[in-house]
Chains A and B, each alone.
Chain A
Amino acid sequence: MNEEELTTVIPGVAVGDWVDQGVDWLNSTFREIFRAIGDVLGTLINGLIDVMLLVPPDVMIVALALLGLLLRSWQFAVGSALTLALIVAMGMWIPAMQTLALVVIATAAAVLIAVPIGILAARNNLVSNLVRPVLDFMQTMPAFVYLIPAILFFSIGYVPGVLSTIVFALPPGVRLTELGIRQVDAETVEAGQAFGATPRQILRGIQLPLAVPTIMAGINQVIMLALSMAVIAGMVGADGLGKKVVESIATLNIGLGAEAGLSVVVLAIYLDRLTAAVGGSGSDKSLRSLIRRNTTARRQPSTTAS
């Protein structure tokens, strides 16, 4: 059965046409602004990719593994080194770095937008009530749909990929920032007020620091969403693992698809574990907590209070 054949008294509404017209209008009105945004983003991401590819893969792998050691554990560092080496071995290093750069830029931008909105929403119920349905919309809209206007505004390449990734990855950043701040112990916030702290002093000295674990959990989700979207962004011509996947689908090349897919998994696990370690109190096997333990041990008083 066809949609037109349905028996209904509800008249048709041309939502699609309106969106079409709206996008056209936006495109003609803000052409210059879009171009400027596109140029900045394009320059940023191409620059980052150039830098990351300037470093030999071996050096890069060692650096990423060391970062893993610093923030998590030596086991994680060794695992990362091996799996990242696998990417090189499969010949997927360049697209992997392109995808990583896209994820980094998109995450940075998403966090820069999401955290302030989350803070506003936490402090103001009106903002919170306005923002929530928008976030629901952004999160449930099929990711592919973002690609269409992005192409219209920015043509194909990295830029529409990054922008649609930002939009897609933003919501958990906002939500968890708001949640993190709202769930800070009310008495602790009262303590700030009771000692005469300004709202700003309370935000910076109490709410944000205590919300960090939750905000980091949000950023972790942002990164994961960004990675999944970055793969989809391959469809609009953003170079990287996503493009390899798209290629493999077009040519039914199972081998290529498996290699690209595996590389995505490696990146995903690395980024996930790394950001989880930043957010939590940190596994105590990390170099960071080892250093911290040593310094606090030295600060302990020798006397014990009664």
Chain B
Amino acid sequence: MPALEADGVFKIFGRRPERGVRALREGRTREELRSRGLTPAVIDATFSVDPGEIFVVMGLSGSGKSTLIRTVNRLLDPTAGTVVIDGTDISSLDAVGLRRVRREKISMVFQHFALLPHRTVGENAAYGLQVQGMNSSDRRARAEQALDMVGLKGWGASMPSELSGGMRQRVGLARALAAGTDIMLMDEAFSALDPLIRREMQDQLIDLQQRLDKTILFITHDLNEAMRLGDRIAMMRDGRIEQIGTAEQILNNPVNNYVAEFVQDVDRTRVLTAANVMEQPVAVLGSTSGPQAAHKLMREHQLAWLLVVNRDRTVHGLVWSHDVAAAVREGTDVLPLHRAELPYTSPDTTLSDLFTQAASSPAPLVVRDEDQRLVGVIPDVTLLAAMGNGQSNGNGQTLENVPVGIPAGVDHGTEVR
């Protein structure tokens, strides 16, 4: 079941907005409605967000993003359509039921932080709990925990005015985390911060999301931010959602000219990650095999190098063909492993970061997941760089096809994440 589902949501500002919905369904344009005094801010928005997903809504200023996110927790009542949160259709709730959903299921982080200036940082972080009626010692403990998570340990007694912008937004984040809801709405939460801090906050959000498994609906007008954060991205224009897809899908298969033009200036090296460009190794060597086996494999596939992999798919090392040939000539049983530490990277490292990492090493970049297991290799990063706005690999072989004794059933991600 999706955590959050919007179906045919319209939000039109003006008098008797329902007539606008009818007119739009009959094919009238936004401009025609404008001339009748109606502002269609959101037009027929349909999307669903899975539990644990970061879903980004991206669009220029005035495209209706804030309006859309506000229909999700009904800070604004949709003119038409339904919003279902965790199985509950919130459009039909009365005030009491709506407050319960807002307290228990869905919290929000605001562009300009929206902290209470007359309360301490700790009290701000505890705001949602106070509203819920939790006693003060419990909520202090929970608020401290949340402040700790966002890196503001020990700041609970300060006033918001004593904090920098980035720190204030951390308080905003802590307030949403402390409320303990599964879903978080973030309306341009990082847009008011300067670029360096913004980057830091994005990393922190990804990190928090992975640890806490929150479902996040994130709004931004910054395409790079959208691509960095979003598991999926909804591109919005003039109130309509033009395309929903992963960063890669949107970059490589834009549905229309608008989206294509929008993404053409994107610096792909900052958007595409190791997971998008890595290949599956043509072959790998079990760590128990000797130089003979290596030699045979390498000759068969005409390889200059070969990865040596343990039973649990962690990387044991790498051998070069000339070293292997020498070992075979000498008749030793010991694999002549590459001496230096291999250049390792993770699937979600961006290309721009890969370039700096790979520049110095002759060995290929080895992509490992968080359990240190092999998920792919990037043989020649400099080649990628030369490709400039190159595309990702179509699809490599999967490890199941790899000819040598290696545990099968490798499940790897070529999805962008």
The residues of A with any CB-CB pair to B shorter than 8 Å are 185, 187-188, 190-198, 201, 205-206, 209-210, 296, 299-303, 305-306
Q: Which residue of B112, B131, B158 is within 8 Å of A201 (Cβ)?
A: B131
A191→B108 contact, CB < 8 A: yes
A302 to B157, CA, bound (A): 11
| CB of B157, distance to nearest CB on chain A (Å) | 4
Given A191-B108, A196-B100, A305 and B157 contact (CB-CB distance below 8 Å): no
Task: Give the contacts of B59-114 with A (CB-CB under 8 A).
Answer: 70, 73, 75, 99-104, 106-108, 110-112, 114
| CB of A20, distance to nearest CB on chain B (Å) | 45
Given A205-B116, A210-B117, A306-B151, A187 and B111 contact (CB-CB distance below 8 Å): yes
A185→B167 contact, CB < 8 A: no
Q: Which residue of B75, B118, B157 is within 8 Å of A301 (Cβ)?
A: B157
Chain B residues with CB under 8 A of A302: 154
Chain B residues with CB under 8 A of A301: 154-158
Chain B residues with CB under 8 A of A194: 73, 75, 102, 106-108, 185
Of all chain A residues, the one with the shortest Cβ separation from B133 is A201
- B305 at interface, CB cutoff 8 A: no
A195→B116 contact, CB < 8 A: no
Proximity string of chain B (239-282) to chain A, C-beta cutoff 8 Å, 1 when within and 0 when not: 00000000000000000000000000000000000000000000
Number of interface residues of B (CB under 8 A): 39
B153→A303 contact, CB < 8 A: yes
A195→B102 contact, CB < 8 A: yes
| CB of B287, distance to nearest CB on chain A (Å) | 40
The residues of B with any CB-CB pair to A shorter than 8 Å are 70, 73, 75, 99-104, 106-108, 110-112, 114-118, 127-128, 130-132, 151-159, 167, 170, 175, 179, 185
| CB of B175, distance to nearest CB on chain A (Å) | 8
B158→A299 contact, CB < 8 A: yes
A165 to B237, CA, bound (A): 58
A185→B114 contact, CB < 8 A: yes
Chain B residues with CB under 8 A of A193: 75, 102
Consensus secondary structure, chain A interface: helix
A195→B128 contact, CB < 8 A: yes
Count of A-B residue pairs with CB < 8 Å: 82
| CB of B6, distance to nearest CB on chain A (Å) | 17
Of all chain B residues, the one with the shortest Cβ separation from A191 is B114
A206 to B159, CA, bound (A): 15
A197→B158 contact, CB < 8 A: no
A208 to B175, CA, bound (A): 21
A209→B102 contact, CB < 8 A: no
**Selected A-B contacts with CB under 8 Å, 28 pairs:** A185-B114, A187-B110, A187-B111, A188-B115, A190-B110, A191-B110, A191-B114, A191-B127, A193-B75, A194-B102, A194-B107, A195-B102, A195-B103, A195-B108, A195-B128, A196-B100, A196-B101, A196-B103, A196-B104, A201-B131, A300-B157, A301-B155, A301-B157, A305-B152, A305-B153, A305-B154, A305-B155, A305-B167
Chain A residues with CB under 8 A of B107: 194-195
| CB of A9, distance to nearest CB on chain B (Å) | 41
Given A193-B75, A196-B99, A197-B131, A187 and B154 contact (CB-CB distance below 8 Å): no
B131→A195 contact, CB < 8 A: yes
Chain B residues with CB under 8 A of A209: 116, 118
| CB of A228, distance to nearest CB on chain B (Å) | 33
A194 to B73, CA, bound (A): 7
Of all chain A residues, the one with the shortest Cβ separation from B99 is A196
| CB of A280, distance to nearest CB on chain B (Å) | 14
A187→B159 contact, CB < 8 A: no
| CB of A294, distance to nearest CB on chain B (Å) | 14
| CB of B16, distance to nearest CB on chain A (Å) | 18
A168 to B361, CA, bound (A): 85
A125 to B53, CA, bound (A): 41
A196 to B184, CA, bound (A): 14
- Given A188-B116, A196-B101, A196-B131; 13 other pairs, CB 8 A cutoff: A187-B111, A191-B115, A194-B73, A195-B102, A196-B132, A197-B131, A209-B118, A210-B116, A301-B155, A301-B156, A302-B154, A303-B154, A305-B154
A305 to B173, CA, bound (A): 15
| CB of A207, distance to nearest CB on chain B (Å) | 11
Chain B residues with CB under 8 A of A192: 131
Q: Which 8 pairs from chain A and chain B are nearest by CB?
A: A301-B154, A196-B103, A299-B157, A196-B102, A191-B114, A194-B108, A195-B128, A187-B114
Chain B residues with CB under 8 A of A201: 131
| CB of A22, distance to nearest CB on chain B (Å) | 40
Of all chain A residues, the one with the shortest Cβ separation from B108 is A194
| CB of A299, distance to nearest CB on chain B (Å) | 4
A195 to B172, CA, bound (A): 12
A198 to B70, CA, bound (A): 18
A187 to B102, CA, bound (A): 16
| CB of A155, distance to nearest CB on chain B (Å) | 47
A195 to B183, CA, bound (A): 12
A201 to B153, CA, bound (A): 28
| CB of A80, distance to nearest CB on chain B (Å) | 29
Chain B residues with CB under 8 A of A303: 153-154
| CB of A204, distance to nearest CB on chain B (Å) | 12
Of all chain B residues, the one with the shortest Cβ separation from A296 is B159
A300 to B115, CA, bound (A): 19
| CB of B200, distance to nearest CB on chain A (Å) | 8
- Of residues A194, A197, A206, A209, which shows the largest number of chain B Cβ atoms within 10 Å of its Cβ? A194
A195 to B153, CA, bound (A): 23
| CB of B137, distance to nearest CB on chain A (Å) | 18
